[in-house]
Amino acid sequence: MTMAQTARLHDDARVNARCSHCGTPVPSEELRLGDELQFCCNGCRHVYGFLRSEGLDRNYYRLRRADSRENVPATVTGRRFTDFDNDIFEKAHVETLDSGHKRTRLFLEGVHCAACVWLVERLGDEHEGVVRLRLDLPRATAEIEWNPQVTALSAIARRLDAYGYAPHAVQSGGVADLRRREERGLLVRLGVAAACAMNIMLIEVALYAGEYEGIAPHFREFFSWVSFLLCLPVVFYAALPFFSAALAGLKNRFPHMDLPISLGISSGFIYSTVSVLSGEGPIYFDSTSALVALLLAGRYVQQRSQRAAVELSERMQHAGRAEFARKRNENGTFEEVPPEALVAGDLVEVLSGDTLPADGNVVEGRSSLDASILTGESRPVRVEAGAEVVAGAVNLGGRLIVRVDAEGERTRLGRLMKLVEEASGRRAKIVATADVVSRYFVSAVLVLAALTAAIWLVRDPARAMEHVIALLVVTCPCALGLATPVAISVALARAAKTGIYIKDADVLERLRRVDRAAFDKTGTLTGGRLELVHWDGDDATARLAFAVERQSSHPLARALRSRFRALETSIPEADSVEERLGRGIEGRVERTRVALGNANYLESLGISVTEAWRSKADDLAERAWTPVFVAVDGQVCALAGFADPLRPEAKEFLEKLRKKGWALHLFSGDSPPVASTVGRLLGFGEREIRGGVSPEDKHDLVRTLKQEARKNGNRVLMIGDGVNDAAALAEADVGIAVQGGSGASIGAAHVTLTQPGLEPVAELLDGSRRTLRIIYRNLLFSLGYNLVCATLAMMGKIDPLAAAVLMPISSLTVISYGVLGRSFGTRRRAASA
């Protein structure tokens, strides 16, 4: 940092301080006045210190500044990662190479820029025993090869963690490998087809010129044979996927786009081959091979564009579950093991911030748990010795020792995930418009071909075959087959750029028929975080309340502190603070006695709560806010109301959907009174609100909605964020996981949002509508084009040259409209303009 920067920091540190590590603004409570270096969080402070001690800071920060990507604060977990050395982990994620080295892939949290690549890959040079380390930046996955005799994976993982890149096991494993092989295979086919097609075209130029200018027969024969040879790998290797898909479609009695494509390719090839062998007649090798190359290109592009969303969801699918457990050994120490290694009866330690790895009973310690991910309940649950706890809940308070009852799939979370998997597996593939169009298209082409044959058999039997083939080649739905994939892949890529990850292109089409939607409350329509939304009292009381609450880690205390942050510098010290779980807190501040809590709690302390205060509190309770009284020296002086506030745009957004004629429902895991109060505020009718529903109930409710919607052929949309929504999201025709959603919900949903709020949902609806419009127009265009060409072919006006010119023109038209047409991202652009 330069002198000038330091000076400026001192001047207006409160306004301008940026983290010395990640560059994000430093929140006021983290500011350390007078320090040259400022950090936004402990993670960044830690990483900065570590890089400096290793002498890596200079290069790292130079690269980091040069990169314009958005910055993220670093997190350091401080874990031991011994579970990475466990046999169970190795079996699932590590492969042993012939050389005796081991190899695995780890997903690194927080990797985002060029400097990250440099720092992570440097570890390959610095860490003894690491043979090879390559980071894939877009996927944030490091491939690590190491010598197990020299180092252990846990040691490498600890080092990565210290750099601020918390490593996680990559869960998808075999599926990702399979997909990678598939994608590579497709690319090789595309390469072969393109290379052959371009060379055939060069040769055909000579042949076409020969048609007009005259060509020596031995040249003509030679060129024809060469283009025949070049077309062989195109048809018998590159185009195989089309043939096999067309055959599969025929077997299922469901002909789709691949059938007319295969028909065009094979008829073009066979007829041209006959022409070459007989030494006369037109050849279509150039059109055929160019067609294959273009179609493969469309398919490859689409596959790659869906990859980002698919990978994101796979990565998150297991994220709701604990990644590791601290299990007690025989000698009484705790060791990190994979959760799969737990058996009933084991004792595990759960520290603050950890996710519970299994269902069980608390043996020791007391704390509060956030089980909202599982139940949707926005308030934390108090637990102490003897309490039952569930896997997936997050420990917010102190250390707990838990005896394991059920682990893995036997936990409530495990069963729930099973339900999710079943719902996802059951989802029927919908019939895309393009497939419907192509079904009619095939029949139409075949009828036209028969007609052509009939007409020409009467008029000129010798040329009948030639014209039929010309028809088949020229109507081969190149544009039809390209129009949809291109428009979809461009839309998916643009959507991903605006923070909307669409896993499945079918979603666009399904959204069109949605007429009812179900919403989760906590975290979806609300912000998912308690805030102080009402304060009836003066600043002096606030100061005293702050002093007492400063010693508590309860979410209500946190909400109060963040509301009165401005007062922070003038807060006195509190002593003899005592907190009663779930009821209230009491302490002494500057010789006054301050107590916060509900009416029962204050009365148990001998403080009377007057009717006036009680009725005020009732008013708050009516709005589903949690009232908390503040008493100073035995007198109630203030009333605070806490709530999980609604998202500001929620009401307007729902109104917009209602105007479209959608039926909206609210399914909340929160208690029925809270759900119905919030629901009424948002304009839901009493019958549309269901409170206190379990995850299984949500799933069933969505299922019922689906059955109702099916009567009119309509679809159901579900929007949620928690693990408790996952099964419902998977069951719905379109499930959307909002930003900040749990891993399980992201894994189950068809669409994942990475921008906060409901605004992206509106963008998704608009964008998919525009995308479909592009697709329809393209389909219409290519149908019109094919109609013209078919007419020409039937009249006998199409020769190989005309086919070679007309086909690429139609393809280019649909590609350019697909690429240039407005689909996603227009809202963003309009907003920034």
Q: How far is the C-alpha of 678 from the C-alpha of 684, rounded, in Å?
A: 9
* 124 vs 691, beta carbon nearer another protein: 124
**185/784 Cα distance (integer angstroms):** 34
Element (H, E) at 168: strand 167-169
- Nearest approach, Cβ of residue 349 and another protein (Å): 34
* DSSP state at residue 526: B
Interface residues for another protein in 55-74 (CB under 8 A)? Answer: 55-56, 58-59, 62-63
What are the backbone angles phi and psi of residue 145, rounded to the nearest 5°?
-120, 130
Q: How many CB atoms lie within 10 A of CB 499?
A: 16
Residues 37-56 that bind another protein (CB under 8 A): 53-56
Site string for another protein, 86-125 (x = CB under 8 A): ----------------------------x--xx--x---x
Q: Which is nearer to another protein, 121 or 515 (CB)?
A: 121
Catalytic residue, from 504, 520, 536, 670: name it.
Answer: 520
Binding residue for another protein, selected from 92, 152, 195, 681, defined by CB under 8 A:
195
**Minimum CB–partner distance for residue 187 and another protein (Å):** 5
Q: Which one of 14, 132, 180, 459 is in contact with another protein (CB under 8 A)?
A: 180
* Residue 229 C-beta: closest distance to another protein, Å: 8
What is the C-alpha separation between 414 and 407, in angstroms, rounded? Answer: 8
CA distance 356 to 480: 52
- Based on the shown chain and the rule CB under 8 A, indicate whether residue 465 belongs to the binding site for another protein: no
Residue 32 or 180: which CB sits closer to another protein? 180
Q: Please tell me the distance from the alpha carbon of residue 754 to that of residue 766, in angstroms, as a whole number.
A: 17
For residues 204 to 243, the per-residue mask of contacts with another protein, x marking binding by CB under 8 A and - elsewhere, is ---------------x--x---x--xx-------------
Residue window 138-177: x/- pattern of binding to another protein, with contact defined by CB under 8 A? xx--------------------------------------
Neighbours of 336 (CB within 10 A): 20
Residue 161 CB, shortest distance to another protein, in Å, is 20
CB of residue 43 to another protein, shortest distance in Å = 23
Q: Which of 628, 443, 431, 418 is nearest to 542 (CA)?
A: 628
Smallest gap, in angstroms, from Cβ of residue 120 to another protein?
10
CB of 114 to another protein, least distance (A): 4
Return the residue of 97, 150, 175, 188 that touches another protein, per CB under 8 A. Answer: 188
- Identify the DSSP state of 717: E
Coil, strand or helix at 172: coil
CB 423 within 8 A of CB 730: yes
Q: Should residue 801 be labelled a site residue for another protein when binding is judged by CB under 8 A?
A: no
Q: Residue 743: helix, strand or coil by DSSP?
A: helix
Size of the site for another protein (CB under 8 A): 37
CB neighbourhood size of 83 (10 A): 25
Q: State the minimum distance, in angstroms, from the CB of residue 139 to another protein.
A: 7
Query: Quick one: CA dihedral 456, 458, 462, 465, positive or negative?
Result: positive
Choose which of 191, 279, 461, 634 interacts with another protein (CB under 8 A): 191
Measured from the CB atom, the residue of 188 and 795 that comes closer to another protein is 188
203 vs 483 by CB, closer to another protein:
203
Is the CB of 196 or the CB of 729 nearer to another protein? 196
User: Tokens standing for 44?
Assistant: 């960044």
Is residue 649 within 8 Å of residue 501, measured between CB atoms? Answer: no
Three-class secondary structure of residue 94 per DSSP:
coil
CB 413 within 8 A of CB 723: yes
Choose, by CB under 8 A, the member of 128, 213, 330, 611 that binds another protein.
Answer: 128
Give the bridge partners for 719, in sequence order: 519, 736
User: Measured at the alpha carbon of residue 405, what is the angle toward residues 402 and 410, in degrees to the nearest 5?
Assistant: 125
- Contact assessment for residue 84 and residue 159, using Cβ atoms and an 8 Å cutoff: no
161 is known as an active-site residue: no
Cα 277 to Cα 530: distance, rounded to the nearest angstrom: 80
Q: Give the catalytic positions in this structure.
A: 520
> Site residues (CB under 8 A) for another protein?
53-56, 58-59, 62-63, 114, 117-118, 121, 125-126, 128, 134-139, 180, 183-184, 187-188, 191-192, 195-196, 199, 203, 219, 222, 226, 229-230
